[in-house]
């Protein structure tokens, strides 16, 4: 490992780089965890916004729980190196999720 600090990405604002450089390792790890979760959240929201609104009610999949709307999509979340399926849908300004089951690596 190099004795030189890493070079920040060119597109990262200076004030963020300065704040990160002044942070201790524990704070940096917390920021990294938060930033990854926030990025996943924003990507999910963007995917949901890109999905066309469904005017007509489509046939419900057999495995769709009664409390999950038919417009829900399936996403994969990784938690502690394990992958899980979740139903996700927009409810007003919020994105809601419901656990579906583990991802089968053979699928």
Q: What is the pLDDT of residues 44-86, one digit of tens each?
A: 887 777 665 544 444 556 677 778 887 888 888 888 888 888 8
Kindly state whether residues 60 and 100 are assigned to the same domain: yes
Kindly state whether residues 44 and 59 are assigned to the same domain: no
How many domains does the structure of the chain reveal?
A: 2
Residue range of the domain that includes 73? 55-106
Kindly state whether residues 40 and 81 are assigned to the same domain: no
pTM score: 0.46
Whether residue 102 lies inside any domain: the answer is: yes
Kindly state whether residues 41 and 61 are assigned to the same domain: no
Whether residue 1 lies inside any domain: the answer is: no
Kindly state whether residues 66 and 101 are assigned to the same domain: yes
Secondary structure (H, E, C), the chain: CCCCCCCCCCCCCHHHHHHHHCCCHHHHHHHHHHHHHHHHHHHHHHHHHHCCCCCCCCCCCCCCCCCCCCCCEEEEEEECCEEEEEEEEEECCEEEEEEEEECCCCC
């Amino acid at each position: 490992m190099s004795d030189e600090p890493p070079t920040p990405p060119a597109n990262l604002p200076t004030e963020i780089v300065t704040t990160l450089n002044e942070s201790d390792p524990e704070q940096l790890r917390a920021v990294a965890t938060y930033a990854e979760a926030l990025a996943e959240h924003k990507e999910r929201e963007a995917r949901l916004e890109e999905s066309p609104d469904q005017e007509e009610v489509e046939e419900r999949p057999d495995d769709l729980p009664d409390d999950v709307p038919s417009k829900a999509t399936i996403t994969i979340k990784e938690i502690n190196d394990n992958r899980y399926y979740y139903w996700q849908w927009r409810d007003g300004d919020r994105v809601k999720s419901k656990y579906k089951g583990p991802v089968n690596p053979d699928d």
